[in-house]
Amino acid sequence: MARTISFKEAINEALDQEMTRDPSVIVMGEDSIGGTGSPGEDDAWGGPMGVTKGLYGKHGNQIMDTPLSESAYVGAAIGAAACGMRPVAELMFIDFMGVCFDQIYNQAAKFKYMFGGKAETPVVIRTMVGAGINAAAQHSQMLTAIFTHIPGLKVVCPSNPYDAKGLLIQSIRDNDPVIFCEHKSLYGVEGEVSEESYVIPFAEANVMRDGGDATIVAYGMMVGKAMDAAKTLAKEGVECDVIDLRTLSPIDMETVLESVENTGRLVVVDEANPRCSIATDVSAQVAQQAFKSLKAQIEMVTAPHTPVPFTTTLEDLYIPSAEQVADAVRKTFN
Amino acid sequence: MNENMFPLSRDELLQVYQTMRTIREFEERVHVEFSRGDIPGFVHLYAGEEASAAGIMTHLRQDDHIASTHRGHGHCIAKGVDVKGMMAEIFGKKSGVCGGKGGSMHIADLDKGMMGANGILGAGAPLACGAALAAKYRDNGDIAISFVGDGASNQGTFLESLNLASIWNLPVVFVVENNGYAESTSVDWAVACDSYVDRASGFGMPGVTVDGTDFFAVYEAAGEIIRRAREGGGPSLLECKMIRFFGHFEGDAQTYRASGEVDDIRANRDCLKSFSKTVTASGVLSQADLEACDTDVLSLIEDAVSTAKAAELPTEADLLTDVYVNY
């Protein structure tokens, strides 16, 4: 039965249900419980944003706090995965990947191939992405493309509570390492989510809106901006397809190509910096595979090529806006 | 026959000799084949260090896990990875243990508890912690071994893993195979403490230093700390002081070593010679026993090399398999 819960609650519910279903699912991270060894109360934090709050009370032996040693505990999650566990390691911010990147891109990503197919590494790394809470340059990045570049990793970035739950359950059951990107500005967003456990398969983009005049492709928080832009444009008589990629690796290009072949116009929206991004990747694939369908040049709406600024006025300018998306669509009609 | 003064039976001692001899012959032969240009890529040889692998692995069960280093052939052989499959892998053949996709630096066999040689120094330490975490969670008495060299003992991954293992009380043993050189750099210069025992104590765990060229010393020290780990006593650090017969990698001119150093260690500090001398002097094993074993090993290695050379290379169809996302 569906009811309205937040993105954050949807993540918590997915973890709770999977930990119940499968005792090999273990959760670890800095302050995932919070307060371990401290004199105050147990489950003091439940994760940096309270996402895992309450799991300790229900699954005390399946969740653990870690020291501030990302290489060690992310690597331990990967090693445990190679030995048959299904660990979910939480890395507070994707920006911290720098300190444990080797374990992810040289170890987890490569085991299966390097070992001739004789290894499975079912590990999920949950991590916060994106800007919008004045977290500044080292806690706000959208580094998705760094991980999509690497063979062996799967990269997921949901845009709403329903997808967050279904994609996280799929990620935990998947036998490959998954970088599960949770946008920090979406944690409070509410939506209808089934109480029952369910999965959303990878590489199935979600057509959020079926318009026919132009195609807007987005993921994560940018899906909401794309939808806002589409509503504005509808008032001007332009009906847009809005496609939420949901998973970035693997990626559902078929849905994108099908839409562009129909509309002839493409705007790709990405909160990441502009070069070597999901936006450039989708644009390149469309240019390569559907060039003859295009009626206008492809437009990209991205953050500028700068670090993420701290103060609100600058951060607001940094994050792509619905108005920028609408302008980009208008440009394809010029 | 004299009474057996050793902690191992005659058959077990013969098995130890066979393991050490197999590693030695494997590495000496890879050295020759590499110099002929028949082996592609990077190769790092374990010859001279056999007592460490054999002394530790003799205590392990198949379900115990090890995370190895770039110098991993000896660990693989001692953990029971198929020698012919290893040789084929080093030659890049489809019949190799990794189908020719891993090579010398990535030989792995998880069914044997071998989590991989590793091209990234120190990267195996967190992985071994993960294997130990899985064992602890399942409460099955299995343990994990993390091998690093003296060079990788300075990696953050290794130091973080010592701390993690200690606070989580993991059944893991960290083995520092100290052969005196981090690639070309002296351990005396590169490690900022006098003793690895001190480093272990800084992370709240016992540390032991042994003569890594003495099989029986390694066997005894490893036995104690492995037993401790199995019984829930937590992690330990074992430093094996040892020597490297060859360079850091094949092709290393080794100009950083003292003149005559390699000749001296081969003549006077060869762990295989000292093991042979000890067991034959006691009378538990005869020279003829060892020679029979030598014959078997030489035959195995010859077979491994000739089979590997004759084996088929992977084809284009193999390029795109065994990877999770394939565009």
pLDDT at A210 over 90: yes
Q: How far apart are CA B86 and CA B307, in angstroms?
A: 11
Instruction: Note whether residue B63 is domain-resident.
Output: yes
Residues of chain A with CATH 3.40.50.920: 206-331
Find the CB nearest B115 among A71, A77, A82. Answer: A82
Q: Is A103's Cβ below 8 Å from some Cβ in B?
A: yes
Question: A48 and A91 in contact (C-beta within 8 Å)?
Answer: no
pLDDT at B95: 98
CB A181 within 8 A of CB A156: yes
Contact call for residues A129 and A301 (beta carbons, < 8 A): no
Start-end of CATH 3.40.50.970 domains in chain A: 2-194
Question: Quick check: A89 and A25 in contact, CB under 8 A?
Answer: no
Q: What is the CATH number of the domain that holds B242?
A: 3.40.50.970
Interchain contact, B161 vs A153, CB within 8 Å: no
Q: What is the 3-state secondary structure (H, E, C) of chain A?
A: CEEEEEHHHHHHHHHHHHHHHCCCEEEEECCCCCCCCCCCCCCCCCCCCCCCCCHHHHCHHHEEECCCCHHHHHHHHHHHHHCCCEEEEEEEEHHHHHHCHHHHHHHHCCHHHHCCCCCCCCCEEEEEECCCCCCCCCCCCCCHHHHHCCCCCEEECCCCHHHHHHHHHHHHHCCCCEEEEEEHHHCCCEEEEECCCCCCCCCCCEEEECCCCEEEEECCCHHHHHHHHHHHHHHCCCCEEEEECCEEECCCHHHHHHHHHHHCCEEEEECCCCCCCHHHHHHHHHHHHCHHHCCCCCEEEECCCCCCCCCHHHHHHHCCCHHHHHHHHHHCCC
- Min Cα distance B295 → chain A (Å) is 31
Range of the domain at B291: 10-308
User: Within a domain: residue B148?
Assistant: yes
Q: Give yes or no for A75 touching B (CB within 8 A).
A: yes
Catalytic residue IDs of A:
139
Distance from CA of B232 to the nearest CA of A (A): 17
Mark yes or no for CB contact A114/B323 under 8 Å: no
Query: How would DSSP label each residue in B194-255?
Result: S-HHHHHHHTTS-EEEEETT-HHHHHHHHHHHHHHHHTT---EEEEEE---SS-SSTT---T
- Cα distance between residue A291 and residue A287, in whole Å: 5
Q: According to the model, what pLDDT value does residue A42 have? A: 85
Q: Which one, of B72, B96, B69, B23, lies nearest residue A114 by Cα?
A: B96
Query: Chain B residue closest to A74 (CA)?
Result: B126
B318 within some domain: no
Q: How far is A238 from chain B (nearest CA, A)?
A: 34
> Given a cut of 80, is residue B325 above it in pLDDT?
no
**Residues A299-332 pLDDT 10s:** 999 999 999 999 999 999 999 999 999 999 999 9
What is the spatial distance between Cα A159 and Cα A219, in angstroms, rounded to a whole number?
Answer: 6
Residues of B in contact with A29 (CB under 8 A): none
Q: Comparing C-alpha atoms, which of B112, B120, B33 is closest to residue B309? A: B33
At B327 the pLDDT is 72
Tell me the CA distances in angstroms from B261 to A135, A231, A272, B236, one per residue in order: 57, 78, 56, 32
Taking only the tens place, the pLDDT of each residue in B125-145 is 999 999 999 999 999 999 999
User: Over the range B37-75, which residues count as b (16 or more CB within 10 Å of their CB) and which as e?
Assistant: eebeeebbbbbbbbbbbbbbbbbbeebbbbbbbbbbbbb
Measured CA to CA, the distance from residue B149 to residue A172 in angstroms comes to 35
Q: Is B323 within 8 Å of A73 when comparing Cβ atoms?
A: no
Question: Could you tell me if B140 lies within 8 Å of chain A, comparing CB atoms?
Answer: no
Tell me whether residues B123 and A118 touch, CB distance under 8 A: no
The tens digit of pLDDT for each residue in A76-98 reads 999 999 999 999 999 999 999 99
Mean of pLDDT values over A8-27: 98
Taking only the tens place, the pLDDT of each residue in B216-242 is 999 999 999 999 999 999 999 999 999
The closest CB to that of A154, out of B108, B321, B324, belongs to B324
Chain A residues in contact with B119 (beta carbon < 8 A): 106
Q: Give residue B3's pLDDT.
A: 63
Give the tens place of pLDDT for each residue, A109-124. 999 999 999 999 999 9
| A83 near B CB under 8 A | yes
Nearest to A103 among B99, B119, B126 (CB): B126
pLDDT of residue A61: 96
Report the candidate in B176, B171, B166, B219 with the shortest Cα–Cα distance to residue B64: B171
Report how far apart, in Å, the C-alpha atoms of A265 and of each of A288, A328, B122 are.
14, 10, 50
- Out of A80, A106, A112, the one facing B322 most closely (by C-beta) is A112
Tens of pLDDT along B281-298?
999 999 999 999 999 999
pLDDT tens string B60-114 = 999 999 999 999 999 999 999 999 999 999 999 999 999 999 999 999 999 999 9
- Give the chain B residue whose CA is nearest to the CA of A68: B160
CATH class of the domain at A206-331: alpha beta
pLDDT above 80 for A70: yes
Residue of B nearest to A70 (CA): B160
Evaluate whether residue B26 is within a structural domain. Answer: yes
Is there a domain that residue B313 lies in? Answer: no
The verdict on a CB contact (< 8 Å) between A85 and B137 is yes
Structure tokens at A140: 């706000």
Q: Is residue B294 part of a domain?
A: yes
Structure tokens at B168: 């989580």
Tell me the average pLDDT across B185-199: 92
Share of chain A above pLDDT 90, in %: 97
Determine contact: B120 vs chain A, CB below 8 A.
yes
How many other C-beta atoms can be found within 10 angstroms of the C-beta atom of residue B291? Answer: 10
Please name the CATH architecture into which domain A2-194 falls.
3-Layer(aba) Sandwich (3.40)
Query: Looking at beta carbons, which residues of chain A come within 8 Å of B116?
Result: 111, 114-115
* Domain membership flag for residue B261: yes
In a domain, B60, yes or no: yes
- Å between A145 CA and nearest CA of chain B: 15
Antiparallel, parallel or unpaired: β A25-29 and A206-209? unpaired
- CB-based contacts of B297, cutoff 8 Å, min separation 6: B18, B21, B22, B25
CB-CB neighbors (< 8 A) of A281 in chain B:
none
Whether A170 and chain B come into contact, CB under 8 Å, resolves to no
Q: Give chain B's domain count.
A: 1
**pLDDT exceeds cutoff 80 at B2:** no
Mutate to test the interface with B, among A27, A88, A105, A107 (most CBs of B within 10 A): A107
Q: With an 8 Å Cβ cutoff, is A102 touching chain B?
A: yes
Q: Report the pLDDT value the prediction gives residue B1, as an integer from 0 to 100.
A: 47
Is the CB of A254 inside 8 Å of chain B's CB atoms?
no
Cα separations (Å) of A259 from A200, A204, A241, B57?
21, 14, 7, 59
Q: What is the ipTM of this complex?
A: 0.93
Closest by CA to B219, choosing from B90, B101, B60, is B60
Tell whether A173 is within 8 A of chain B (Cβ): no
Q: pLDDT tens-digit profile of A273-305?
A: 999 999 999 999 999 999 999 999 999 999 999
Task: Return d(Cα B304, Cα B207) in angstroms, integer.
Answer: 39
The model's pTM: 0.95
A110-to-A149, B3, B152 alpha-carbon distances in Å: 13, 51, 21
> Is the pLDDT confidence value at A253 over 50?
yes
The shortest CB-CB distance from B128 to any of A79, A113, A177 is to A79
**Looking at the partner chain, which of B109, B119, B324 has a beta carbon nearest the beta carbon of A152?**
B324
- Does residue B319 belong to the interface with chain A, where contact is any CB pair within 8 Å? no
CA distance B241 to chain A (A): 26
Contact A87, A28 (CB under 8 A): yes
